[in-house]
Structure 1
Amino acid sequence: MESQSPNSTQERLLPSSDENKADEENHPLISAIVEEDVEKVKQLLERGTDVNFQQAGGWTPLHNAVVNCNTLHKSEEIVALLLQYGADPLQRKDNGATPFILAGISGNVNLLRLFLSKGSEVNECDFNGFTAFMEAATYGKTEALRFLKKEGADVNLARVAKENKKKLGKGGATALMDAASNGHLDAVKALLDEMEPDVNARDNMGRNALIHVLREFPDEKAKAQTREAIIRLLLKNGVDVEVRGEGRKTPLILAVETKELSLVRMLLEQENIKIDDTDGENRTALLVAVQLGLDEIALVLCDHGASLDCGDLVKLARLNHRFYLANYLISKGARKDFLSSAADWEPQSSRWREALRKLHQLAHPMTGKLKIFIDDKYKIADTSKGGVYLGFYNGKEAAVKLFQESSEEAQKELSCLKNNYLNSHLVTFYEKETQGGCLYVCLALCERTLQEHFANHKETEAAGNGEDVFARKTLLSVFKALEELHLVYIHQDLHPKNILIDSKNAVRLADFDKSIKWAGDTQKIMRDLQALGRLVLYVVRKGGIPFEELEAKSNEEVIKDSPDEETRDLICHLFCPGENLERRLSSLLGHPFFWSWESRYRTLRNVGNESDLKQRKSESNILQILNLKTSESFSFANWTTKVDKCVMIKMNSFYKGKRKFYKNTVGDLLKFIRNLGEHYHEERNNDLQQIIGDPCRYFQKLFPDLVIYVYTKLKDTDYKKHFPQTENPHRLTVEEEEMVSRVNALSTDRD
């Protein structure tokens, strides 16, 4: 996951230059405030200008006055004027920030004091959990911290995240973490020396201030000494060095990744440091140092007793042309043949087996953690920007997509992959490497595209009368991938060649070099939904209609080409999604298209088990809903004449005494399906079994539009309780729930 830049908080709090320009032109009061023209502000207010006018994002003149005035006394003068003319001191922006909270950013103690006198609460927070104290820490406003502490600010208050974001690990950070991770040494010192913060407080991801400062520090060489000083202060105050960050990285491993020898030495001096602890990829600090070609750090770790039995250290050093380091490691006892010989190594991929074996044996310098050789024999696919090649990233088989480093496509691909790395239905993103102006995007290696699958499996994927499990599972993965993606991003290039199938036949969405962040433009998200509708037909038709041909068809033609009711209804909902487009796919994940035939049959039986149906209560709500209008034409109209005659006679015989034979109503059909299912496996009904065979297939074929009819009628009622629950795709597991909506949190939130 990409580290948050030190200025990302401010970027989200302050309006963009474009927004400022537009609002200044549209509202003279905002312009006067930004220009610090006190007289003009006063004139406008005297003329009756709306003092509580809100810009985009909920910015009022008062919010602007607090953060957009560079001269402190003018800021205070303008704020006083606005309040005098009725400005609301407690007004919140769209993100929940009040003028008091924003005053923490400017660090203006006089304004903080003023807003407290106007009713602000010292620990009030915005909707992301930020308080004025946290903002002052984030921006290094030491005097503001001291003032707020004196006024009762909770030094150890943890950022409160909304429940759905808390599940994603958001929230929980404290002011100490904010000050440390943004490189504000004076603020950290003031907090530790004067305010007794909990130095070992952890956020909702389990990270303490030490992890924050090692992971999220401003990327400036001049800041290296500041980071060292902050870490020294934290260590002096007893910060836990055994805590873990993302990927289970230890502070020592994170220190190695900073490439700062002084930080590594400092941590090695700590009594509780465990030099051979591994991260989530089973890497020790020494292995990371050798992978990164950090000779000095590797030597220091060896001198402190790091285990040499942690990977193929000698080979890695040689591949990186670090021959002195390789010889040193050998002299310390590292094995030259840590791994089995290349001849014995076997790739996981079957399609790319031979090429991977050759690349594995090839002696070639590493590009960071990446081994790649740009040659046609290792090329997977052509692209307009550089191609896709086989590679090994950190020892794992990889597909490496090449870009010019500064290209717009490269930035789109990286942005989307990084902010969606927990979307399990996208191709797995390992990391990026750069060299000589070329960007290498390292991804999990897959076996084939969806387009290639149908081209090479026509004999096994030929359309038949059976249930299409492949289509259901494939499209389920694509829908889930887009469901999470659409929280923030639009793919814009849905195509069978951009849907991959891995060695375990899992389906992954790929290729994000055209993706964009969605800003509410319905036309852009409709582009994905329109393409998805065509993709549904492409998959159901086993690739029999080329996707390019489907793209040229009108929506009506695509719908008309649908082979069954479930497919037709699903595509209709994609082409005409209604409102709330970003949640459209979430609602469609429960569509009968994604139900197995057994689930469809079970649903009909469960509905048929409703007592009002069994007792034929014509006035009941469910019968009124299901009642078939005379103008409607469905396969199950006059259904008693379509069921096998012998079956109908036998089922009616159970009612011979009561003479309550089945009628041509939807309620009676569902009751019939329920009754047949209840008694189907009884020995006395062997004759029925011989005629019907598999009942779920029998009713699917006999009444192909029945499930969709029942679904459509009941989906917005309490009777939807009968729809599949265990197999319903949008009822996620706990693990899946923790991954849904991460994109929005990772991309737009601050914590």
Structure 2
Amino acid sequence: METQSHNNIQERPTPSIKGRASVEDNQLMKAVTKEDIKLVQQLLEGGADVNFQEKEWGWSPLHTAVQNGQEDIVDLLLRYGANPCLRKKNGATPFIIAGIGGNVKLLELLLSKGAEVNECDANGFTAFMEAAVKGKIEALRFLYKCGANVNLSRKTKEVQKRLRKGGATALMDAAENGHVDALKILLEEMGADVKACDNMGRNALIYALRNSDHRNVEVITRLLLDHGADVNVRGEKGKTPLIMAVEKKHLGLVQMLLEQEHIEINDTDSEGSTALLLAVQLNLIGIAQLLCEKGASTDCGDLVMIARRNYNSSLAKFLLLHGAREDFHPPAEDWKPQSSRWGEALEHLHRIYRPMIGKLKIFIDEEYKIADTSEGGIYLGFYEGQEVAVKCFCEGSTHGQREMSCLQSSRANSDLVTFYGSESHKDCLYVCLGLCEQTLEEHLDKHRVEVVENEEDEFARNVLSSVFKAVEELHLLCGYTHQDLHPGNILINSKNAICLADFDKSIKWTGEPKEIKTDLEALGLLVLYVVKKGDLLFETLKTKSNEEVIQLSPDEETRNLIYHLFNPGENVKEHLSGLLGHPFFWSWESRYRMLRDVGNESDIKIRKRDSNIVQLLQPGTSEHSRSFAQWTSKIDNYVMEEMNKYYEKHKRYKNTVNDLLKFIRNLGEHINEERNKKMRSSIGEPFQYLQKEFPDLVIYVYTKLRNTEYRKHFPKTHNLNKP
């Protein structure tokens, strides 16, 4: 917004300004300021720069002439080539300055010379907005006729937008500055949107009540309310119009607001103060009585004590008659939250007064917002005293009903986010869920490290095991499919447990395989995303083909798991139950133990060629070469020699899979013996050594034996149907 002091310069574009001004340039500016048209013409004819801009603020002769309303000098400057689109340092053009003065002739002239009716300065002000600030009615009508956007909101630079600045409209400007006639024209002739809010969520009603100086606040408030302004909107520090009216000590305003059908009389500001509590603190007996008579709750603070401290015994008696308590006890100050991330906000919410919504205590305010959603956001709250995340929906929302239905069918202590209950109030549905510290995506962003190949990844195994179990429960017990699996829907709580959330897009499974396949394919992408520690963005993975995703896998177990997720076969519903027994979820020690147990089969130990297990483990003729094809040459020489000493020369280990398994079994039997210390020092832990030397061996054995009786050697895994 422009002012006479020219001090509105934050975040401004820099105009082209001469390094040094000539004597004629400075004389031209002085002549324009003194309104000496003859001298102005003389200097222009003598070569003075008509587009000269002074260095400090970027004022040009045309800007100055427009500010002073000098129509003849403006016309002269334009005839000598003055640029009507030249901008000061704060981005203001002569046309925008003309809006401040409200001079219709100048506005018309500048428009004819190329000005744009909706052009704005660096702070988002247009000529129409400036006219509203100053209450220039004729300018407003003229600009509206020329196409000015009545409901245009002020656009700010990104750094200001992040601070939630900007977004105000001309209606808010007129309301704040007390211009009744301008407000009427904007509302009744031009259709200004009374429900519009700026980037802080404030509407014209808040703007009207912010200014305590103008005398028209009642008239303007009535105008805005009659045109449907939201009476429960919030301003600075979470104050509602009712609270602001009490702070103004304005009984008439309070009475007017209380007449509104949907007034929230017990709403609090960000400090937990209600209108009644403030009225008592300010010793406003008339307003306090009016609020109580209209049903304000007296359970909002130690009202009786405050009244007595103000030596107002009559107010104290009145409050007692309306239910106030002598023994009011605020929440314990030594209460500490469980959550570390949300602790400060939870302590504040616990301390302040909030009217209960059934069993729920919540405050819809930015301080307590966890995340935005497409409908209403997620906020901190307390449900029966328990810290919760509250997902807000419009009453009757399809997404809200899906979320509720899905969670109500989940079991206790599952891998789905905990569902505590729900409440409905004022056309809103509040779904109360277990409070978590961060999403998987946030965790990986904070703890991203370079992926180390061939190292055991317990984090990925634990995370994905929980996610698989959660989706399995969703499919088998709840009868739903998620349809929106991604890293932002996987949460980590204060105990580092993983749970699945966000079921507002879930659907009841109809029996159509594609519905479950959608979840399985998303799980395939999640597997790679987690294994790669988020280095491959999930949105990027969604653009790749299944084959490309499989090829990006860093190890055999991951590659095989993703392949089976992308190719589930016919029994899609129970497919995850089988995959939870996949080697990906086995620790390296468990993998090693499985290989030892298979190698301990008597038919393998005695090399019984025609036995079932020996035949099963033989590579097919079409199978490509494996890491263990010439395995005896890959084992540490000393270890190989020592292990062969247990056999006569013709019975030594051969390059077969069965002999490798036999070797692994025997290695486990002998490596910890006292005489084999050197062998142990050569290879370290056998389970690590073998995983690195033969990375595809476990998957090979798993694939050959998983549908046979020998799967008895596999580690025991999760079974959803067991208690």
TM range (shorter): 0.5 to 0.7
Quote the residue 2:710 is aligned against. 719
**Paired residues of 2:301 and 2:353 also in contact (CA < 8 A):** no
1:639-683: CA deviation from partner (whole Å, max 9, x where unpaired)? 11111111111111111x363100000100000000000111101
- Is the CA contact (8 Å cut-off) linking 1:421 and 1:429 kept in structure 2? no
Residue in 1 that maps onto 2:472:
483
5 Å matches for 1:432-581? 432-459=422-449, 462-463=451-452, 465-487=454-476, 488-581=479-572
1:394 offset after TM fit, Å? 0.6
**Alignment match, 2:23:** none
Give the 3-state SS of the residue equivalent to 1:357 in structure 2. Answer: helix
CA 676–406 in structure 1, closer or farther in 2 if over 3 Å, else same: same
1:409 equivalent in alignment to 2:390: no
Counterparts of 2:453 and 2:694, CA distance in 1:
17
Matched position secondary structure for 1:391: strand
Write out per-residue CA displacement over residues 321-359 of structure 1, whole angstroms, 9 at most, x where no aligned residue.
9999x989x999x9855x9x5431110000111111111
AA aligned to 1:474 is V
Label 1:624 to 1:464 Cα distance change in 2 as closer, same or farther (>3 A): closer
Match of 1:645 among 630, 637, 645: 637
Residue 557 (structure 1) shift: 0.4
Q: Which has the higher contact order (CA 8 A, sep 6+)?
A: 1
Contact 1:500 1:510 in 2 (8 A): yes
Q: For residue 587 of structure 2, what is the aligned residue in structure 1?
A: 596
5 Å-filtered alignment, 1:301-450, equals: 318=299, 337=329, 342-422=332-412, 424-450=414-440
1:451/1:497 contact within 8 Å kept: yes
Could you tell me which residue of structure 1 aligns to residue 722 of structure 2?
737
1:484 shift after superposition:
1.2
Deviation for aligned residue 1:630? 4.3
1:507-566 deviation line (CA, Å, top 9, x unaligned): 000000000000111111111111010001000110110000011110000000011111
Identity of aligned residues (%): 62
**Alpha-carbon spacing, 1:320–1:485, altered in 2? closer, same or farther (3 Å):** farther
Give, in angstroms, the shift of residue 463 of structure 1: 3.5
Distance in structure 1 (CA, Å) of the matches to 2:499 and 2:669: 40
- Structure-2 change in CA distance of 1:319 and 1:439 (3 Å): farther
The corresponding residue for 1:636 is: 628
The one-letter amino acid of 1:481's match is: A
Which secondary structure does the structure 2 equivalent of 1:542 belong to? coil
Distance of 1:322 and 1:442 partners within structure 2: 31
Q: Using a 3 Å threshold, how does the CA distance of structure 1 residues 327 and 426 change in structure 2: closer, same or farther?
A: farther
Q: Give the superposition deviation at 1:631.
A: 3.7
How many angstroms does 1:389 deviate by? 0.4
Q: Distance in 2 between matches of 1:322 and 1:486?
A: 54
Structure 1: distance between partners of 2:481 and 2:657 = 41
- Match of 2:392, SS? strand
Contact 1:423 1:481 (8 Å CA) reproduced: no
Return the TM-score normalized by structure 1. Answer: 0.52
Q: Deviations over 1:478-514 (max 9, x none)?
A: 1101111112100000000000000000000000000
- Match runs of 1:52-67 below 5 Å: none
Aligned to 1:432, the other structure's residue is in SS state strand
1:182-331 equivalence runs, <5 A: 318=299
Where does 1:682-693 land on structure 2 (aligned, <5 Å)? 682-693=673-684
Counterparts of 1:672-711 in structure 2, within 5 Å, are 672-711=663-702
Q: 1:690 to 1:419 in 2, by over 3 A?
A: same
**What SS is found at the alignment partner of 1:628?**
coil
Between the aligned partners of 2:617 and 2:298, the Cα distance in structure 1 is 72
Aligned length: 411
- SS at structure 2 position matched to 1:466: coil
Distance in 1 between residues matched to 2:552 and 2:678, nearest whole Å: 38
Deviations 1:624-649 (A, max 9, x none): 00012344211110111111111111
Structure 1 residues 394, 322: CA separation in 2 closer, same or farther (over 3 Å shift)?
A: farther
Report the 3-state secondary structure (helix = DSSP H, G, I; strand = E; otherwise coil) of the residue aligned with 1:559.
helix
1:677 is paired with a residue whose SS is helix
Paired residue for 2:611?
620
| Partner Cα distance (2:507, 2:615) in 1 | 46
Counterparts in 2 of 1:572 and 1:455: CA distance versus 1, 3 Å: same
Q: Distance in 2 between matches of 1:621 and 1:409?
A: 54
| 8 Å Cα contact 1:628-1:665 kept in structure 2 | no
The answer as to whether partners of 1:476 and 1:729 remain within 8 angstroms in 2 is no
Structure 1 residues 322 and 446, CA gap change in structure 2 (3 angstroms): farther
| Residues 370, 394 of structure 1: 8 Å contact kept | yes
Q: Does the Cα contact within 8 Å between 1:321 and 1:365 map onto a contact in 2?
A: no
Q: Which amino acid aligns with 1:318?
A: D
| Closer, same or farther: CA 415–612 of 1 in aligned 2, 3 Å | same
CA offset digits 1:595-624 (Å, max 9, x no partner): 000000000000000000000001110000
CA distance in 2, matches of 1:336, 1:433: 26
Q: Which amino acid aligns with 1:506?
A: A
Match of 1:162 in 2: none
Quote the Cα distance in structure 2 between the aligned partners of 1:620 and 1:403: 64
* C-alpha RMSD of matched pairs (Å): 2.6
**Does structure 1 conserve the Cα–Cα contact (< 8 Å) formed by 2:583 and 2:698?**
yes
Q: Secondary structure at the match of 2:467?
A: helix
In structure 2, the gaps of 5 or more residues are 1-296, 305-316
Counterpart amino acid of 1:484? E
Contact residue 604 and residue 673 of structure 1 kept, 8 A:
yes
Tell me, yes or no, if the aligned pair for 1:421 and 1:428 is still in contact at 8 Å: no
CA 613–322 in structure 1, closer or farther in 2 if over 3 Å, else same:
farther
Change in Cα spacing, 1:608 to 1:322, as seen in structure 2 (3 Å) is farther
2:601 and 2:298 mapped to 1: Cα distance? 71
Taking a change above 3 Å as real, the CA distance of residues 423 and 492 of structure 1, as seen in their structure-2 partners, is: farther
Larger radius of gyration: 2
Instruction: Measure, in 2, the Cα distance between the counterparts of 1:596 and 1:434.
Output: 46
| Corresponding letter in the other structure for 2:410 | N
Give the Å deviation of 1:408. 0.8
Q: Runs of 4 or more off by more than 6 Å in structure 1? A: 319-324
Supply the distance in 1 between the matched residues of 2:339 and 2:298 (Cα, whole angstroms): 26
SS class of match (1:318): coil
TM-aligned CA deviation for residue 466 of structure 1: 2.5
Contact 2:516–2:572 (Cα < 8 Å) also in 1: yes
Separation (CA, whole Å) in 2 of partners of 1:671 and 1:322 = 83
After superposition, the C-alpha distances for 1:154-194 in whole angstroms (9 at most, x for unaligned) are xxxxxxxxxxxxxxxxxxxxxxxxxxxxxxxxxxxxxxxxx
Point out where structure 1 has 5 or more consecutive residues left out of the alignment. Answer: 1-315, 739-751
* Structure 1, 658-667 or 488-497: larger mean CA deviation: 658-667
Shift of 1:421: 4.1
Alpha carbons of 1:699 and 1:317: their partners in 2 closer, same or farther (altered >3 Å)? Answer: farther
Asked if structure 2 preserves the Cα contact closer than 8 Å seen for 1:319 and 1:366, the reply is no
- SS of equivalent to 1:526: helix
Q: Distance in 2 between matches of 1:708 and 1:327?
A: 76
